[in-house]
Amino acid sequence: MSSTVKSFKVTYNPVNEENTFTSGDCLSGQVTLEVAKECHIKSLLIQLKGKARVLWTETYGQVTVPYYAKDKYFSIKHYFIADKDFKGDTTVAAGLAKNTKGPIDSQCLVCQNMPSSFNGSAGKIVYSLKARLSRSMRIDKKDSTKINFVTRADLCCDPELTTPQHECKDKGMKMFSSGTVAMDVDIEKTGYFQGEGIKVLACIENNSSREIRPKYCVYRKHSFFASGRRRLHTKDLLKEVGEPIAPSDSVKVSRIITIPHDMEPSILNCSILKAEYRVRVRINVTWGLIYKSQPRFHPEIHPSINVNAK
């Protein structure tokens, strides 16, 4: 038996080449309905939603405990046909119904504190546009599409993002080496765009008896929170090795670590999950020994500025 509804689809109109939206953007789109024969519709609506959720399990002996939390940002509905208080039906003739077009109120995207879209191992932040068709004595027809939302940042005017970071380490060597190694390390600021370079400036005093090399690493931290518990995932993303420094030598070194254009933005404004980055500088000693005292920095990665080009 053929279905009365041949197709039902919701789409939106991109506002830039990257297919992203940010605060202040106006979202518009279409709902397309094609029916094989005349049918009676109770309601046709679209819904714009933004929410975050985390879920993972932990095993204690033979007991598995789930940890779950959610955070709802907004839920906006618009009825094209009827509404929840309408008791009758609307008749639609056979064929391709005229596309229903209309802008979604841009005020729903004005809030500056909404986090960027995110998909991690134990949680996600999702913005979606959904459509639902309701008929009497029939299962509802549904369709949805995800929206890639990014948080806009002004790296020039926010004092927290323009603040430099500094770390100083000075400790003795162990194992087969004697003496000390001192590191005085800086990064120029805290906030960076995708594709930008993180400039690491270091003054290194090698007062040990071994040749050493500075090693640089950018790694990611995903934290998920629920019921007073935290789930942590870390992953090394970029690794680089500097030039050797001879024993009893003191040098100033500079390293630019380029952030990939597709690196996901930092998320620090969500109550149930975080996406953070760290830059670690450590010393590698001849014979593979590692100088354990490691300066760590906390850069914030933001979407590149061309994301907002209309």
pLDDT per residue as tens digits for the range 189-200: 999 999 999 999
Q: Does residue 68 sit in the same domain as residue 176?
A: no
Q: Establish if 225 belongs to a structural domain.
A: yes
Question: Is residue 152 one of the residues assigned to a domain?
Answer: no
Same domain, yes or no, for 130 and 34?
yes
Q: How many domains does the chain have?
A: 2
Close Cβ partners of 154 (under 8 Å, ≥ 6 residues apart): none
What pLDDT sits at residue 309?
38
What is the structure's pLDDT at 6?
Answer: 83
Cβ contact 253:202 at 8 Å: yes
In a domain, 164, yes or no: yes
The verdict on 37 and 118 lying in the same domain is yes
Is 291 domain-assigned? yes
- Considering the domain architecture, whether residues 35 and 110 belong to the same structural domain is answered as yes
Segment 5-18 mean pLDDT: 88
Q: 22: domain range?
A: 5-147
Mean pLDDT along residues 223-228: 98
The CATH number assigned to the domain holding 81 equals 2.60.40.640
Domain end among 89, 118, 147? 147
Shared-domain flag, residues 90 and 193: no
**In contact, 209 and 247? CB cutoff 8 Å:** yes
pTM of the model: 0.84
Domain C-terminal end among 105, 122, 147: 147
